[in-house]
A and B are shown apart, each in its own frame.
Chain A
């Protein structure tokens, strides 16, 4: 059952990713991206990362994609249907290169024979049973990783100030 669901959502994710790359209009790309993000959240649930699945939907599909949509609206690009794929030799060479990359990677991974569920899976399940789904990720986040977590706050502050300064109409 889980394997079937995984393949269904993987197909939606790859289809959405193809839509992102191939769609003519930015809005079409964006909606395909939302489909990809949603099916990826489902795959996170299948891999038992429930908190990350919720964050994926709320932050990525909810906030970041809406930010993109706002910019498309602000710049009035919604009806910008001009063909903008780079054609010819460049596209073919890119496709050959990245296709070879994907093929090599998947052959490598197929040969690796990874375990279905390693020791980490058991540790995560134990942590979830003890602290709950959110607590299992919050406990190390606020103890072992508390310094990177605080630095993340500074990063977001810098990003806010930078975005405002860049997007201001008349820079002083």
Chain B
């Protein structure tokens, strides 16, 4: 059960990484980052079956940070949208070479 959960966590993390790499829609990239955070949460919970309750407490903190990150990130997306009228990251090229 622990091993299966860790393998599932690895696959979800990799899918999230793939999504961040290949999508251009900023909101979907954010969703993929949430997916990565969730995959890490799953491996924390799985390891808590070996190492004790601390893993579950860390998941609690990760969820809080994810909520804060989503709020600030979506605010940034809103202000970018006001400026460029799009959320496609191809259009944000100020820092690109």
A-side residues, CB < 8 A to B, are 2-3, 6-7, 10, 13-14, 17-18, 20-21, 23, 26, 29-30, 33, 36-37, 40, 43-44, 46-49, 51-52, 55-56, 59-60, 63-64, 67-68, 71-72, 74-75, 77, 80, 82, 84-86, 90-91, 94-95, 98-99, 101-102, 105-106, 109-110, 112-121, 123-124, 127, 136-137, 140-141, 145, 148, 152, 155-156, 158-160, 162-164, 166-167, 169
A116-B2, A167-B78 are contacts. A14–B12 as well, Cβ < 8 Å?
A: yes
Contact B50 A121 (CB under 8 A): yes
B interface, CB within 8 angstroms of A: 1-8, 10-12, 14-19, 21-25, 27-28, 30-32, 34-35, 38, 41-42, 45-57, 59-61, 63-72, 74-79, 81-82, 87-88
Q: Are A13 and B68 in contact (CB under 8 A)?
A: no
Asked if B10 and A20 make an inter-chain contact with CB atoms under 8 angstroms apart, the answer reads: no
Q: How far is the CA of A101 from the CA of B81 in the complex (A)?
A: 34
**In contact, A10 and B4 (Cβ under 8 angstroms):** yes
Interface of B is mostly: helix
Q: How far is the CB of A62 from chain B (nearest CB, A)?
A: 11
Q: Which single member of A17, A77, A158 contacts B15 (CB below 8 Å)?
A: A17
Q: Which residues of A contact B19 (CB under 8 A)?
A: 20-21
How many angstroms from the CA of A49 to the CA of B5 in the assembled complex? Answer: 13
Can you list 17 A-B contacts (CB < 8 A)? Answer: A6-B4, A13-B12, A20-B15, A40-B41, A43-B42, A60-B38, A84-B24, A84-B28, A86-B23, A99-B14, A101-B17, A124-B53, A137-B56, A159-B69, A163-B72, A163-B74, A169-B82
Which of A94, A112, A164 has most B Cβ within 10 Å? A94
Minimal Cβ-Cβ distance residue in A for B79: A166
Cα–Cα distance between A98 and B18 once the two chains are bound (Å): 7
User: Are B10 and A52 in contact, CB atoms less than 8 angstroms apart?
Assistant: no
Task: Other than A3-B1, A124-B49, A155-B64, give 6 A-B pairs with Cβ distance below 8 A.
Answer: A21-B19, A36-B35, A106-B10, A114-B2, A120-B52, A124-B52
Residue of B nearest to A137 (CB): B56
The 4 closest A-B pairs by CB, nearest first: A118-B50, A159-B68, A166-B75, A21-B19
A20 and B32 within 8 A (CB): yes
* CB <8 Å contact, B87 and A75: yes
Within 8 Å by CB of A47, from B46, B52, B57, B69, lies B46
